[in-house]
Structure 1
Amino acid sequence: KALGPKIAILPYTISGFPLAKEIIGQYEQNPDIEAIVIMNHGIFTFAEDAETSYNLMIDYVNKAEQYIAKHLKYHQSQPQSPDLQYSEDRISAMASLAQTLRGACAFKDSDGAMKRFYVEIRKKSDIVKASLSKTAEKICSAGVLTPDHVIRTKNKMVYIEFVPENDEDLVSLVNQKVAAFTNDYHEYFRSLSEAKGVTRKELDPFPRLFLVAGIGLFAIGFTGKEASIAADIGEHIIRARLCSNLLGKFTPIPDSHIFDMEYWSLQQKKINRKTSSLLSGQVAVVTGGAGAIGFGIAQQLIKAGAAVVISDIDEGRLEKVRSILAEKFGSTSVEKIVFDVTDFQSVKNAFNKISIKFGGIDILVPNAGIAHVATIENLDPAKFNQVIDVNLKGTFNVIKAAIPIFKRQKTGGNIVVISSKNVFDPGAAFGAYSASKAGAHQISKIAAMELAQIGVKVNMINPDAVFGDNRISSKLWDLIGPDRMKSRGLDAEGLRDYYRNRNLLKQQVLAEHVGNAVLFFASDQTPTTGASLPVDGGIPSAFPR
């Protein structure tokens, strides 16, 4: 009816010899066919040359679209409907839900390593409208359009009717939904393995798609790409289901076919999942990302497999760091966000945006800092307050804003505070910086005591004299370096030599060394919290004690 007489229609048959026999049988009956539709799988066109076959595909897809448009008055522009704009309260609810979903689906693999997911959210107006429809729950339970999709999305979606405002209620609701899905999956696997008389290793039982009333579609995946693919498929499933309900009755694919495809080794190879890195599936936020140390930290975390968000108030320098990292590791590995660590609401809003982009936060690196050189006698109280605001209050603000995220995720986490050698070995005329860093160091120790009960470790790194390089300089040394060079009668290279030669190992401390120390703590290689790790080449007066 829709595509004309030169097509053959076959029931779903798994790829291989049985399908080949079905196709040749159809061809022998009608040698004029130029396309085959395999139900719940797709359309195949063929001809004597590739171009003709391609053009036939376009023609048949156009015929299908015209048929749908005619019978539904369905505008082709509808799938491109705009994203809905949400209020800050709704954005906060979306972020909380993403964090909770991500945590509820995280699990430990056979080696005891935590497997985390990334989240992708789709909120185009037609998807949100579908989430509020009377058929929303049926859409979620009807299954995939084609068995191929099951390796990306599982067979069914989870429907969430509302998002509770209270965190405890939200976590409880999501856990109930996920538990119901996983129980059904276990039974699906058990019953079909038994019915088919096969032995298979059960895949993880967690859902990949969640349709949330009034908000949109949430997809999860072990990588950002997997989450995006699942979201693409989910959108198509919803739109196709809405059309099919208006055109006629949608017939779900039998679970038996779904099982065959999901547990077919050739299908699993399509995913081509790489060996997990130290920080696979984790999201790291590095404040002060526009400077040398921030760059070094971000680089080492990306190398270890994390998705990294760098932040700063200097958008120009921040973009420079982002572009260097993106060129080296790929644009999906790093994001930038501008916010002010001294403004708690700004921090909360930024963390919401990060959670909507990735699903949550696993690693927090409070690194933003400024310095001011002046003796106490000459120290302007306003300058003192400014340094305290950034270095101490800024550290407090980002730690405080991250705690509810860690609690919703329930997967632990790491906070690695970039402290300073000056905490243990302060210098004259550096009172504002030394005092602010000492305060941040102390609040971090208290955070270590308070957050251990939710599995979050807090550790401090105390670097010294990290100058950066020609690409990304240290903003701190850009500020204080000229005075230090003048007071010691040194040029820039001489100043570097001075600080290198004053440490026991006679080594220059690089930004990547600080990054390596962050990676050590962030990768959970030891059960350590509340520790201070010097990265200074060995300064006896700065030994922690």
Structure 2
Amino acid sequence: MSAPTKTFKHVNYLWDDAKAAQLKGDEVALLLYRSNILGADLRITNYGGGNTSCKTMEKDPLTGKEVEVMWIKGSGGDIGTLTRSGLAGLYNDKLRSLENVYRGLEFEDEMVALFNHCIYDLDSKAPSIDTPLHGFLPFKHIDHLHPDAAIAIAASKDGEQITKDLFKGQISWVPWQRPGFDLGLQLKQSLADNPGIRGIMLGGHGLFTWGDTAYDCYINSLEVIDMASEYLEQNYGKTRPVFGGQILESLSPEKRKDQAAQLAPVLRGLASSYDRMVGHFTDDEKVLQFANSKDLERLAPLGTSCPDHFLRTKIRPLVLDLPKDADLSDKAAIKKQLEPYFQAYREMYAKYYNEHKRSNSPAMRDPNPVVIIWPGVGMFSFAKNKQTTRVASEFYINAINVMRGAEAISEYVALPLQEAFDIEYWLLEEAKLQRMPKEQPMSRKVALITGSAGGIGKAIADKLAAEGACVVITDIDEDRAAAANKTYKRDVSTYAKMDVTNPESIKVAFKKACLEFGGVDVIVNSAGLAISKSITDTSEQDYDLLMDVLTKGQFLVSQAGVDILRAQGLGGDIVNIVSKNALVSGPNNVVYGSAKAAQAHMSRLLAAELGPEKIRVNVVNPDAVIEGSKIWEGKWAEGRAKAYGVTVEELPAFYAKRTLLNEIIGTVDIANAVFAFTGGLLSKSTGNILNVDGGVAAAFVR
């Protein structure tokens, strides 16, 4: 092995000596550290892909003797975010002894259940299918990674010879085989046949590297990947242009986003014929290089090579035959134009399933495409939630990188379709899917909430996000919206500045929703303000402001949202946060109350108009929600206190005492009401008003 270096051209060296020194003596902690920094670089491995392990000597709690324990990433984990709870700890001697009961390739699946008999750490994650691949190699620290550069070599027609020549015999080659117990035995044999090697290339699959320490293993992995990357770099364009050259020029970045935002809801609707999907869009330069190339037509149908790729992206993408600058103003016409492409894809997938299924194969899954390429514009992906669809997009970019590299040095070779099918419909993979927790009520839905940087709007966003929705935070104060957005985890939210009285501002916010999530399912009109004055004191400016923000704002946002809901064709919800004042005549409230009444009646009218399209429109009427509300920070509170002859400080208790339930209303109460309308239990209700006011008899609707 060559001397370690900290300078790499194609990968990031992230090892921090000071941090590692704090972990000295704890090999498992060092394993986790190494794993996390490897997973932080998508050129090294993709999300959820690959595996890492270490072996330690531990005291057997039953015998008191020292035994070798292998710690390895458990099933379904991701090395970039791996923690101790995500590891499986196994007696390595017991794992190796399973060779005595192994009955051959046709009995691979039964071995996975036997891994559980080798568990040392009773808090272990379920061992993954890769477990024996690490167990049969004697090294203390092992990395099994999926670097694009290595897979490009592994997925090329001349990959074995290239591996031998490039690494001068220091990396051996094991031909493609599905991961499992037998592959572990093959790695063991390859090491025996090639003593002193520093790694093993798995044909079409990935790379194994190792070291005596966590650091040695890390450096070995980086060096091998960097060598493979440099080899590819030197060969790009050497014998022919990358991907055969560009035959199409991309639109400008802003025009790409405009086109993508317009088309995304149509694609989302078409891709959701089996189940509702959440979208993602990228116009990464690597995607565009592939999408605009001469070789797109030849390479895209071949499918991917690495199993981790097509498990998330399906066997191949759908390529749109649509001009990059197509007029998308007539969404119904565009949908009609694209429907045949989706139908052809579904038929292709059904044919793939029927021609390769086994007698015990699980039922065919959703036949719609996951990845959709639009030459000149970019790439869309659709899956059950934002994280899954983003990761699918990243995986297909990995696949593009692999094809790009393989074509530069040799010829790209995809997995045979039967091999691909056997992995996609592997019974163990199906069992993993069946073990996944039940989806949340708002899963697969996207909610845009106006005025959601604080108060009622933020509480609504919090509730819907907690129930599984993706949320779009909008507010007239962009800084507040950005701050609110930071309170959510990645893949849950995005934000946009929105002035509900400005159609262009509204358009920009919905464009953001379409680019980030593919569209929108729930629109909550929560933005508002309040002015409490007598008719004598109310100015024309007060009147215009209230009517613009409350009534006109609700109309403009709903109008823009309906365009997207119609383009998707999936139905949807509009929930308008109105007020008890829409139903009750209160003092010094003439314009605010009138605007709220207009909001309520507009909701009824829209419910009648949009019902045939399965778009539900409902109203939540709060009363006196003082908590977190900017409305109550200024003159409104003073005005209401004056109207009722109490102090501002006495208002919450005053409002509670006048209700039948004697309750103070909080923002979470309003959020719960919105969830009641949108969470599925009231999917056959529209045109309703739900009062959340503690019980104000004068506000009873009937």
Same fold by TM-score greater than 0.5:
yes
Q: Contact 1:37/1:43 (CA < 8 Å) preserved in 2?
A: yes
Q: 1:187 to 1:280 in 2, by over 3 A?
A: same
Q: Contact 1:283/1:307 (CA < 8 Å) preserved in 2?
A: yes
Q: Choose which of 472, 476, 497 in structure 2 pairs with 1:309.
A: 472
Q: Choose which of 137, 141, 146 in structure 1 pairs with 2:301.
A: 141
Whole-angstrom distance in 2 between the partners of 1:48 and 1:378: 82
- Deviation per CA, 1:163-213: give whole Å up to 9, x if none: 5423123212433222222221122122212xx443323222222111111
Whole-angstrom distance in 2 between the partners of 1:255 and 1:93: 34
Whole-angstrom distance in 1 between the partners of 2:600 and 2:194: 80
- Deviation per CA, 1:133-182: give whole Å up to 9, x if none: 12222232121131222221111011113254231232124332222222
Q: 1:289 to 1:127 in 2, by over 3 A?
A: same
Q: Give the superposition deviation at 1:350.
A: 1.3
Q: Contact 1:129/1:214 (CA < 8 Å) preserved in 2?
A: no
- Deviation per CA, 1:467-523: give whole Å up to 9, x if none: 11xxx2342464311233345453344211111111111111111111111101112
Q: 1:270 to 1:47 in 2, by over 3 A?
A: farther
Alignment match, 1:23: 187
Whole-angstrom distance in 1 between the partners of 2:501 and 2:352: 52
Q: When the two structures are superposed, what TM-score results if normalisation uses the length of structure 2?
A: 0.71
Q: 1:233 to 1:99 in 2, by over 3 A?
A: same
Do structure 1's residue 534 and structure 2's residue 691 form an aligned pair? yes
Q: 1:477 to 1:106 in 2, by over 3 A?
A: same
Q: Give the superposition deviation at 1:407.
A: 1.1
Q: 1:378 to 1:494 in 2, by over 3 A?
A: closer
- 5+ residue gaps, structure 1, are 109-114
Q: Give the superposition deviation at 1:93.
A: 2.1
Q: Choose which of 635, 640, 646 in structure 2 pairs with 1:484.
A: 640
Do structure 1's residue 393 and structure 2's residue 552 form an aligned pair? yes
Secondary structure of 1:433's partner? Answer: helix
Secondary structure of 1:138's partner? Answer: helix
Secondary structure of 1:9's partner? Answer: strand
Q: Choose which of 277, 287, 291 in structure 2 pairs with 1:131.
A: 291
Alignment match, 2:93: none
Alignment match, 1:156: 316
Aligned letter for 2:225? V
Q: Give the superposition deviation at 1:315.
A: 3.1
Aligned letter for 1:204? D
Mean Cα displacement is larger for which, 389-398 or 244-253? 244-253
Do structure 1's residue 514 and structure 2's residue 670 form an aligned pair? yes
Q: Give the superposition deviation at 1:107.
A: 4.5
Mean Cα displacement is larger for which, 116-125 or 475-484? 475-484
Alignment match, 1:219: 381
Within 5 Å, give how 1:176-215 maps onto structure 2: 176-193=340-357, 196-215=358-377
Alignment match, 1:13: 177
Aligned letter for 2:668? E
Whole-angstrom distance in 2 between the partners of 1:28 and 1:488: 89
Q: Contact 2:309/2:399 (CA < 8 Å) preserved in 1?
A: no
Whole-angstrom distance in 1 between the partners of 2:545 and 2:393: 44
Alignment match, 1:105: 271
Aligned letter for 2:631? K
Secondary structure of 2:336's partner? Answer: helix
Secondary structure of 1:46's partner? Answer: strand
Aligned letter for 1:240? V
Alignment match, 2:415: 253
Whole-angstrom distance in 1 between the partners of 2:548 and 2:467: 32
Aligned letter for 2:459? G
Q: Give the superposition deviation at 1:73.
A: 6.0
Q: Contact 2:322/2:374 (CA < 8 Å) preserved in 1?
A: yes
Do structure 1's residue 318 and structure 2's residue 481 form an aligned pair? yes
Whole-angstrom distance in 2 between the partners of 1:332 and 1:67: 35
Q: Give the superposition deviation at 1:121.
A: 1.4
Do structure 1's residue 504 and structure 2's residue 656 form an aligned pair? no
Whole-angstrom distance in 1 between the partners of 2:236 and 2:454: 56
Whole-angstrom distance in 2 between the partners of 1:129 and 1:4: 32
Alignment match, 1:292: 455
Mean Cα displacement is larger for which, 276-285 or 312-321? 312-321
Secondary structure of 2:472's partner? Answer: strand
- 5+ residue gaps, structure 2, are 1-164, 243-249
Aligned letter for 2:312? R
Whole-angstrom distance in 2 between the partners of 1:422 and 1:90: 45
Whole-angstrom distance in 1 between the partners of 2:382 and 2:276: 9
Whole-angstrom distance in 1 between the partners of 2:520 and 2:538: 38
- Deviation per CA, 1:383-428: give whole Å up to 9, x if none: 2111111101000001100112111111110001111111111223
Aligned letter for 1:206? N
Alignment match, 2:442: 279
Mean Cα displacement is larger for which, 21-30 or 146-155? 21-30
Aligned letter for 2:178? I
- Determine what percentage of the aligned residue pairs are the same residue: 29
Do structure 1's residue 242 and structure 2's residue 409 form an aligned pair? no
Whole-angstrom distance in 2 between the partners of 1:507 and 1:47: 65
Q: Contact 2:256/2:378 (CA < 8 Å) preserved in 1?
A: no
- Deviation per CA, 1:283-327: give whole Å up to 9, x if none: 11111213421122112211211111121112344345444x43x
Aligned letter for 1:68? L
Secondary structure of 1:116's partner? Answer: coil
* Number of residue equivalences: 522
Secondary structure of 1:305's partner? Answer: coil
Alignment match, 1:71: 235
Q: Contact 1:347/1:401 (CA < 8 Å) preserved in 2?
A: yes
Secondary structure of 1:332's partner? Answer: coil
CA-based RMSD: 2.3
Do structure 1's residue 351 and structure 2's residue 520 form an aligned pair? no
Structure number with bigger Rg: 2
Q: Contact 1:96/1:408 (CA < 8 Å) preserved in 2?
A: no
Alignment match, 1:335: 494
Within 5 Å, give how 1:358-369 maps onto structure 2: 358-369=517-528
Q: Give the superposition deviation at 1:43.
A: 1.3
- Deviation per CA, 1:114-143: give whole Å up to 9, x if none: x42222211123322321212222232121
Do structure 1's residue 168 and structure 2's residue 327 form an aligned pair? no
Secondary structure of 2:491's partner? Answer: helix
Whole-angstrom distance in 1 between the partners of 2:286 and 2:231: 20
Q: Give the superposition deviation at 1:247.
A: 2.3
| Structure possessing the higher relative contact order (Cα contacts under 8 Å, 6 or more residues apart) | 1
Alignment match, 1:111: none
Q: Choose which of 409, 412, 420 in structure 1 pairs with 2:571.
A: 412
Aligned letter for 1:246? A
Q: 1:247 to 1:173 in 2, by over 3 A?
A: farther
Aligned letter for 1:491? T
Whole-angstrom distance in 1 between the partners of 2:493 and 2:602: 29
Q: When the two structures are superposed, what TM-score results if normalisation uses the length of structure 1?
A: 0.90
Q: Give the superposition deviation at 1:268.
A: 5.1
Q: Contact 1:292/1:475 (CA < 8 Å) preserved in 2?
A: no
- Deviation per CA, 1:229-250: give whole Å up to 9, x if none: 1111111212321232232221
Q: Give the superposition deviation at 1:54.
A: 3.1
Q: Give the superposition deviation at 1:344.
A: 1.3
Q: Contact 2:453/2:474 (CA < 8 Å) preserved in 1?
A: yes
Aligned letter for 2:302? A
Q: 1:71 to 1:92 in 2, by over 3 A?
A: closer
Alignment match, 1:424: 583
Alignment match, 2:205: 41
Secondary structure of 1:133's partner? Answer: coil
